[in-house]
Structure 1
């Protein structure tokens, strides 16, 4: 209660503004309005006076896609030089929470807790699809095959109720990490056990490297997954939302998004940075930095256009790795490259650099960073898919008169 006036529930506040609850939370994540947590830590309440003030102000969308459709989203936002997941600091979440908890927060603000395991038949289909491809096929292509195979055998794939979609999503992520073939000698020599080994990060570790799954190393992979879970309305997100707008099932939405990762903009530079670090380890950082500067006066994996003051996600992952790197010798090569590259000018490693530092020091293949991105971003794509299912169907089709269409929110 504020000044004797009762606070409004989420439904009441959304009705007062004439928007959907998802749009209401988008306003919260952007700092346009505040909310009060209920005693249970889950329910949200709003000050009616603040809502009335908000109603008198012009609204702007959270993101604008090139389709002419305005897409407000409460999933994530870049604000104050930081990434926020539904109003919470993404870097802090990734460092302190499991990837499963991050995904759950993006989907339902953490309620209910989900089990990231899948039916045996899903895992069997995933393994069959992933291993049927030739040995030299990229991890990303195996992931695509898994998504298509599991979607094909799921008899309930067309159940688009939110509670059903989240169960589907958790099962799909589990099928991906459990269906991909393990790395040679994965997990030999002991290592992490218990919750770390059973987590999504722990299971994915054995797919990507034969290095023993030490708890700190698996923790770094978990942080990377959390940091990569979402990044606003990107091209891959739009692809997922277009599929969801046509009321395609979640597997189709994720599949559509996965194909945008073949473009250089969506796939990032982690593979290039990984190969650069391999060269720096063998040829020396000075020689590699000098060659790159001679070629283009640019070093891959530095400076992000959306973070003028430096990518906080990159710093967060580098800090986690520095505390206890998977391989001390390779980490020294990373530090030498950073020190050489920074000579005489400020350079801020991006998340792509941090992921490459992880894959390089952990003995993963160069395309492992793209696979980590694909698994992680499933969480964000599903969150946006859930939002899109709540919108009017087929809203991305241009109207006959060419006028701009808006979200119902």
Structure 2
């Protein structure tokens, strides 16, 4: 689609008549500009598309107003990620196709709208080896998330331009942040090598195909529009704070057991199923225990509201795992669990199940699934923080009060 539309094209896109289109312009809902080559007026295609989406959301709002913050209509406009028709797109590019060959750094370049060369050339964080060694000596035995939540704010204090809003300063801070987060979570010195290779080295993954699965996992985890952690990052950014502060908030939100912490629940499910010796019986007992009284069950690692026919991220990773590590005994366990759940509930695996499967089948360190999720997602958080900074405005929704009303005279 071209960058400008004629009046007829704009009216068709909005599903309105030409007189209504002109009324929109007169009311300030839409702008038009003169055609340099004629007497007609032209309409910005992006602005028309945004208005069309708002109109559609408005039609749905009456039906889902009570659920607007629970898988309801969008609460923010974004140009970064689209989930539609069972597919995931980063700035118009199919994320699953990207994950077949792209690195996380190349994906970050797409999300941040810069070149991969710009990311590779970013300066190292101004932190000495002695400082990093001292931090790891104090916090090296902590869990990866705890290390990150301690080390990132400390590292931010060393950044000379952490508050700068210029494009170059933001990109430098973004690259430093991505590398420092990886270093904190795997207890290694910050490096500019692609993150999947850093993870493979830290976790003892020597098989190139297995390292490639880590790369793909990072890419498919890079963003997923306005999930809780990303919304948190945008809210924090809207207050004017720097990237390090916003990402620390995102990490805290990601750690919740109903978000990034789902991978730990799936891992526990794997362990319980293995100890039971009978997957079908264990699953039946689990579902009976989790029944909420309405015969609806919540089983971590399965089903996703945005992918009713199956999470394409999970399919990609599980197919790759079966192809390149299918002979490992743990793979048979993973496939048996997925098959039993599908036969019993009809629910397909989601990204949490796939990440936990990578951890189990490749014998990665405990918590590796969460680390993959967090290190991939930080690139999306940064993209959303940059977009929020550019768009401006404080995110401050109002609450609908439903408590006791004060007495009136």
Same fold by TM-score greater than 0.5? yes
Residues 1:388 and 1:273: Cα distance change in structure 2 (over 3 Å): same
Match of 1:339 in 2: 339
1:364 to partner: Cα distance: 2.5
| 1:89 and 2:94 matched | yes
Output the aligned Cα RMSD.
Answer: 3.5
Structure-2 separation of matches of 1:308 and 1:165: 37
1:293 to partner: Cα distance: 2.8
Q: Is the 8 A contact 2:125 2:159 kept in 1?
A: no
| 1:167 and 2:160 matched | no
Match of 2:156 in 1: 151
Structure-1 separation of matches of 2:136 and 2:225: 30
Match of 2:61 in 1: none
Q: Is the 8 A contact 1:229 1:380 kept in 2?
A: yes
Secondary structure of the residue that 2:391 maps to in structure 1? coil
Number of aligned residue pairs: give it: 342
Match of 1:235 in 2: 228
Identify unmatched segments of 5+ residues in structure 2: 5-9, 11-41, 58-67, 292-296, 402-409
Q: Is the 8 A contact 2:109 2:115 kept in 1?
A: yes
| 1:363 and 2:380 matched | no
Q: Is the 8 A contact 2:221 2:376 kept in 1?
A: yes
Matches within 5 A, 1:212-361: 212-284=205-277, 285-296=279-290, 298=297, 299-325=299-325, 328-343=328-343, 345-361=345-361
Q: Note the alpha carbon deviations across 1:292-335, whole angstroms, 9 max, x for none.
A: 23322654311111111111111111111111028712112212
Q: Which moved more, 1:48-57 or 1:197-206?
A: 48-57
Match of 1:187 in 2: none
Higher-Rg member (1/2): 2
1:365 to partner: Cα distance: 3.7
Residues 1:58 and 1:327: Cα distance change in structure 2 (over 3 Å): same
Q: 1:199 aligns with which of 194, 197, 202?
A: 194
Q: 2:106 aligns with which of 79, 101, 105?
A: 101
Q: 1:60 aligns with which of 54, 64, 67?
A: 54
1:387 to partner: Cα distance: 0.6
Structure-1 separation of matches of 2:145 and 2:165: 26
Residues 1:130 and 1:326: Cα distance change in structure 2 (over 3 Å): farther
Q: Is the 8 A contact 1:118 1:172 kept in 2?
A: no
1:281 to partner: Cα distance: 3.6
Secondary structure of the residue that 1:103 maps to in structure 2? helix
Secondary structure of the residue that 1:266 maps to in structure 2? coil
1:374 to partner: Cα distance: 1.5
Residues 1:251 and 1:54: Cα distance change in structure 2 (over 3 Å): same
Secondary structure of the residue that 1:144 maps to in structure 2? helix
1:338 to partner: Cα distance: 2.1
Residues 1:345 and 1:149: Cα distance change in structure 2 (over 3 Å): same
Q: Is the 8 A contact 1:243 1:253 kept in 2?
A: yes
Q: Is the 8 A contact 1:220 1:321 kept in 2?
A: yes
Q: Note the alpha carbon deviations across 1:72-122, whole angstroms, 9 max, x for none.
A: 101112111111111111111122211111111111164654118762643
Identify unmatched segments of 5+ residues in structure 1: 10-15, 17-47, 184-196, 403-409
Q: Note the alpha carbon deviations across 1:52-83, whole angstroms, 9 max, x for none.
A: 993795441999769x9942101112111111
Q: Is the 8 A contact 1:270 1:353 kept in 2?
A: yes
Structure-2 separation of matches of 1:251 and 1:351: 26
Residues 1:92 and 1:365: Cα distance change in structure 2 (over 3 Å): same
Residues 1:144 and 1:111: Cα distance change in structure 2 (over 3 Å): same
